[in-house]
Chains A and B, each alone.
Chain A
Amino acid sequence: MELIRRFGGYLHKYRAHAAGAVVCVVVEMALELLIPLIMADLVDIGVANGDTAFIFRQGAWMCACAVAALVLGVASARLVAACGNGLAAEIRKAEYAKVQSFSFANRDRFRTESLVTRLTTDVTTIQNAVVTGLRPGVRGPCMMVMSIFMGFVINPKLAVIFVVAAPVLAVLLWQIVTRVRPLYTRMQSAIDQVNRVVQENLTAVRIVKAYVRGDYENEKFAAVNGELREVSTRSFATAVLNMPAMQFVMYATILCILWIGGGMIQTGELQAGKLTGFLSYVLQVLNSLMMISNVFLQLTRAGASAQRIAEVLDEPLDLTDERARDVRVEHGSVRFDHVSFQYRAGAENFVLSDVTLDIAAGETVGIIGGTGSSKSTLVQLIPRLYEATKGTVYVDGRPVQEYPLAHLRDAIAMVLQKNTLFSGTVRDNLRWGKAGATDEEIAEACRVACVDEFIGRLDNGLDTDLGQGGVNVSGGQKQRLCIARAVLKKPKVLILDDSTSAVDMVTEAKLRRGLAECLPDTTKIIIAQRISSVMHADKIVVLSDGRVDAVGDHWSLMETNEIYRDIYQSQQEGAGL
């Protein structure tokens, strides 16, 4: 109920449509009730009196009603369609906007596939509930009220049977609906599980084949498939109980009325003709209860979807602009002051502990350390992709929270470890860095990032379509495109998070020189696995288990730092083979 009120808010723009649709349905129904009355006159008066003109007049009236019902019916269908689709569009828009405002930490709480389902299938479920549910949802209750009223008009004493039958059926249907609701939620998550296994197998098809794990995956699938089968069997088996429940009550009522009504006819309380009329109203009442329960079932399904959407809409944002002032990043110096970080409040260990670090504007800084030494986490705190748990990160001497978020991220370019390119041409992708970039600017960025080396080999140069996720270029080419995209921003701080791992060393050196020439005043922070990627930096930070182990240049670290020396030597060995 709460959900209905809440999502009803998105109907705002289409309120007139909704009201119009309801009016159309009600009037259409009234016409339908009128037609049998006209018919009765046609037979009882026209035919009985042999009045041909009257017969044709009544026939014409009925046709007129039919045409009017047609017009109203079509109109209500159109209005309902506009309403349902409009509502869906509004919900999608609000949800998408909300997802866009998620921080990295928010995003980590939702799986990608699950967010996509919540934005697509779940919204469609709600839309379908509105489009197909509105007509019976309005007709059902109206029909019921009118039929009960007619029943009382015919014979109040016999109509008491409604008072017994209707609540019995209502209770039965309610029992079914409340039982089905949690089952639908479980069914939805079982479907998610199946999709997840399939999706993972598609993404990791090479691994499955390389490790010859087809049978194992089949077993894994059999488990989730079995679970889905069981849950959906239970859900549907419960849901279809409404049909027999309705028949039991309906048939019992008919028999009662025949028996009791028969008795009343004997005592003269009721006429035989009225009994037939009464029976048809009984059927009408039970039918409309059935309609209502179907609408409820549909609402239940939509309710599960609405719940999932609400979870997205209600996710508290953990990054806000509330401390922001109208200041700009001028130089690009960065300072970490006793910074600690953990991904989840209350986690046992800190990912970063007590990091203090000073990076001057225009400096080139290398960050090195074993896997899991939290290098990426450290730099992601600078553009506020995550928020430090303790301590403060300063840019140009101001806490990062004081900059407007959009400006901060404009001033800091970051090439993420997990690069993503988007479908569209190479040019479209590069323009993410700068929307209106000219051909000269793009050419320069391509030169700096060594994209010019391979761009000529692509089918259409800059206008080559990259395909979803950039499937049409290799790993190293992708990395260079991502760097070019960041260079176009002309940032104050440029962060390369292990962005040259798939690029050969000669190209990497060229890239480094290009960056130094093109962005001389930009602070450059380079995370790397290879010593050769950072040894020319002004300053190298050695991270170990989330702590700063040492800071210095290549030569001083070679002398004083054991971890650095170890890494250096292990890589020399590799090179000697």
Chain B
Amino acid sequence: MAKQMTSKRPRDAKKTLRRLARYLGGHKAALALVAVMVVMSGLANVVGTYLLKPVINEFIVPGDIPGLARAVAAMAVMYAVGALCTLGYNQLMVRTAQKIIAQIRGDLFARTQKLPLAYFDARTHGELMSSFTNDVDTVTEALNNSFTLLIQSFVVVTGTIVMLIVLDARLSAIVIAFLAAMLAFILYNGRRGRKFYAQQQKYLASLNGFVEEMVAGQKVEKVFNHEQTDFEEFCRRNEALREAGTKAAGYAGMMVPTVVSLSYVNYAVSACVGGLFVLIGLTDIGSLSSYLVFVRQSAMPLNQLTQQANFLMSALSGAERIFAMMDEEPEVDEGDVTLVRVREGSDGTMTEAPEYTGRFAWKCPGESGPTLVPLRGDVRFHDVVFGYTPGKKILDGVSLYAKPGQEIAFVGSTGAGKTTIINLITRFYEIQGGSITYDGIDLRRIRKDDLRRSLSVVVQDTHLFTGTILENIRYGRLTATDDDVRAAARLANADSFIRRLPDGYDTMISGDGDNLSQGQR
């Protein structure tokens, strides 16, 4: 099962962004407030640093103590506002991000409930789970940090560049050239790094798949003394991942030192040229010194900016996969026949009843008002044609019928299509030819939920959910009382073994009922 390669780039960034924006849209006010506070906090930081020099030169050096007091007080106010803004935007952003993410997760889950069975059968659990874990995670990370950091570094980068141009337009040409070179390097490195990253993801998926399968099948492994062989295979994959991971991390780690070194060269060149400018009288030493301070500061925010952009990119591709899953065709349900509770009058006519009567009927809307057809359980197949994959027919022209109350046993050697027939009656899958009727009504006219509610299907794969035994039995009817459950258990001959479990009815069943035997389920 080759796990789908997780690409880091979204295919259609704009479309995904629009979609994501719709989720963000519900929190417009909060996000706007966050943006404002980010800008204010960033400005307080930059302006505060910038003001240090004038404060020293104008108040401290001349010895103007009251002036210094005023300046310090003014700066204190500004700093306080800045720090409060930092506090505010961080808190607000975290809360908003978690709200949005919970909403996305909920929507994704609700959508999986509506997808047709064929969708699940065609994909591995790992693939589907990965949307809930990895993809949602990257979006969370991006919302938590990237949004604010991106605004902040953008403010700082533009602010610094503007400052440089203001201080010395000619010298700033050097800096801008270097910044452009750094940007080019970062982009180039990012593109090349993706190859290594993809390699690492491939080996990671291969190792995870192996671990998942072996841990799940561990009991069989033990029975066959197969540990040694599996361990060797594990070590092989583990080693492959280690090598790929080392390459990827080594490559990614080059980014920061390279940018830092480039910024030092930039610093050196600016200083030399600036020095020459001073010598030929184009500028003075004081201006050069403060100019150089800004040159030194210019590289880091650029680095941060691109790093956040990368995070955002992978978050977008995660969001794209999430949205793709949300956009899957849901199970279509064009049925208009519903199941209703009825009461039978003395003359044999039925009327709809609001309360539980123990009697049910199909309500079929017609031109002359709805008609009620009693639920009897008469299922007929007429020349049904079906296959799971196109071109490979499992059923070809099958006709059969089950009269109400009849128990039909499907006999056939294993793999002859018994489960398939059940899959068709419940409409887990759609037939490709012929028709199926239920109490004389075409199956396709009946609403799926009502159809399934009327059939009690014991599915071939029995599955239990985590929770106590009591809760699991109650899955059949959620309103059952504890006593009802016990009665049901006695009917199914399960009461005695349940009472011998460590905690009786309150025993926790975990992981698909690993601790129960097949019959006990």
In the complex, whether B63 has a CB less than 8 A from a CB of chain A is yes
Name the segment of B28-36, B237-245, B367-375 touching the other chain: B237-245
A residues 220-263 in Cβ contact with B at 8 Å: 221-222, 225-226, 228-229, 232-233, 236-237, 240-241, 243-244, 247-248, 251-252, 254-255, 258-259, 261-263
Min Cβ gap B211→A in Å is 5
B residues 285-304 in Cβ contact with A at 8 Å: 285, 288-289, 292
A81 near B272 with CB under 8 A, answer no
In the complex, whether A195 has a CB less than 8 A from a CB of chain B is yes
Residues of chain B within 8 A of A383, CB atoms compared: 223
Q: How far is the CA of A332 from the CA of B63 in the complex (A)?
A: 103
Indicate whether A120 sits within 8 Å of B211 (C-beta atoms), given known contacts A206-B461, A210-B457, A213-B475.
yes
Residues of chain A within 8 A of B428, CB atoms compared: 206, 209
Q: Taking CB as reference atom, which chain A residue is nearest B411?
A: A504
In the complex, whether A276 has a CB less than 8 A from a CB of chain B is yes
Residues of chain A within 8 A of B276, CB atoms compared: 52, 55
A residues 383-422 in Cβ contact with B at 8 Å: 383, 385, 406, 409-410, 413-414, 416-420, 422
A73 near B256 with CB under 8 A, answer yes
In the complex, whether B102 has a CB less than 8 A from a CB of chain A is yes
Q: Taking CB as reference atom, which chain B residue is nearest A68?
A: B261
In the complex, whether B5 has a CB less than 8 A from a CB of chain A is no
Q: How far is the CA of A115 from the CA of B208 in the complex (A)?
A: 11
Interface residues on A, range: 35 or more
In the complex, whether A180 has a CB less than 8 A from a CB of chain B is no
Q: Taking CB as reference atom, which chain B residue is nearest A347?
A: B502
Q: How far is the CA of A475 from the CA of B289 in the complex (A)?
A: 80
In the complex, whether B18 has a CB less than 8 A from a CB of chain A is no
A55, A265, A350, A376: the one contacting B272 at CB < 8 Å is A55
Question: C-beta contact mask, A46-60 vs B, less than 8 Å → 1, else 0?
Answer: 111010100110110
A423 near B1 with CB under 8 A, answer yes
Indicate whether A417 sits within 8 Å of B453 (C-beta atoms), given known contacts A62-B267, A208-B113.
no
Residues of chain A within 8 A of B219, CB atoms compared: 104, 107, 385, 416, 418, 420
B463 near A349 with CB under 8 A, answer no
In the complex, whether A127 has a CB less than 8 A from a CB of chain B is yes
Indicate whether A67 sits within 8 Å of B261 (C-beta atoms), given known contacts A210-B457, A244-B83, A265-B60.
yes
Residues of chain B within 8 A of A507, CB atoms compared: 413
Residues of chain B within 8 A of A255, CB atoms compared: 72, 75-76, 79
Indicate whether A417 sits within 8 Å of B414 (C-beta atoms), given known contacts A85-B246, A206-B117, A266-B65.
no
In the complex, whether B366 has a CB less than 8 A from a CB of chain A is no
Min Cβ gap A53→B in Å is 11
In the complex, whether B91 has a CB less than 8 A from a CB of chain A is yes
B249, B264, B496, B502: the one contacting A545 at CB < 8 Å is B496
In the complex, whether B332 has a CB less than 8 A from a CB of chain A is no
Min Cβ gap B511→A in Å is 4
In the complex, whether B105 has a CB less than 8 A from a CB of chain A is yes
B229, B253, B500, B520: the one contacting A435 at CB < 8 Å is B229
B253 near A59 with CB under 8 A, answer no
Indicate whether A28 sits within 8 Å of B114 (C-beta atoms), given known contacts A62-B267, A204-B465.
no
B residues 475-521 in Cβ contact with A at 8 Å: 475-476, 478, 493-494, 496-500, 502, 510-512, 514-515, 517-520
Interface residues on B, range: 35 or more
A371 near B493 with CB under 8 A, answer yes
Q: Taking CB as reference atom, which chain A residue is nearest B427?
A: A209
In the complex, whether B355 has a CB less than 8 A from a CB of chain A is no
Name the segment of B127-135, B160-168, B342-350 touching the other chain: B127-135
B48 near A251 with CB under 8 A, answer yes
A82, A502, A577: the one contacting B407 at CB < 8 Å is A577
Min Cβ gap B288→A in Å is 7
Q: How far is the CA of A58 from the CA of B234 in the complex (A)?
A: 55
B264 near A417 with CB under 8 A, answer no
A residues 460-496 in Cβ contact with B at 8 Å: 467-469, 473-477, 485, 489
Min Cβ gap B486→A in Å is 15
Min Cβ gap A105→B in Å is 11
* A-B contacts, CB under 8 A, total: 433
Residues of chain B within 8 A of A62, CB atoms compared: 264-265, 267-268, 271
A39 near B117 with CB under 8 A, answer no
Min Cβ gap A213→B in Å is 7
Indicate whether A43 sits within 8 Å of B52 (C-beta atoms), given known contacts A119-B215, A202-B125, A577-B409.
no
A88 near B245 with CB under 8 A, answer yes
Q: How far is the CA of A224 from the CA of B375 in the complex (A)?
A: 38
Min Cβ gap A351→B in Å is 7
Min Cβ gap B214→A in Å is 8
A206, A226, A529, A546: the one contacting B102 at CB < 8 Å is A226
In the complex, whether A80 has a CB less than 8 A from a CB of chain B is yes
A209, A248, A474: the one contacting B415 at CB < 8 Å is A474
In the complex, whether A536 has a CB less than 8 A from a CB of chain B is no
B residues 135-166 in Cβ contact with A at 8 Å: 140, 144
Indicate whether A70 sits within 8 Å of B288 (C-beta atoms), given known contacts A468-B1, A498-B518.
no
Indicate whether A244 sits within 8 Å of B455 (C-beta atoms), given known contacts A55-B272, A120-B207.
no
Q: Taking CB as reference atom, which chain B residue is nearest A273?
A: B56
Of residues A48, A251, A467, which shows the largest number of chain B Cβ atoms within 10 Å of its Cβ? A251
Residues of chain B within 8 A of A179, CB atoms compared: none
Indicate whether A81 sits within 8 Å of B519 (C-beta atoms), given known contacts A63-B268, A96-B234, A262-B65.
no
What are 24 inter-chain pairs, A to B, with CB distance below 8 A? Answer: A47-B285, A66-B265, A73-B261, A74-B257, A80-B253, A96-B238, A107-B219, A111-B514, A195-B133, A225-B106, A226-B102, A229-B98, A229-B99, A237-B95, A255-B75, A258-B56, A258-B71, A417-B517, A417-B518, A477-B415, A489-B224, A498-B518, A498-B519, A504-B411
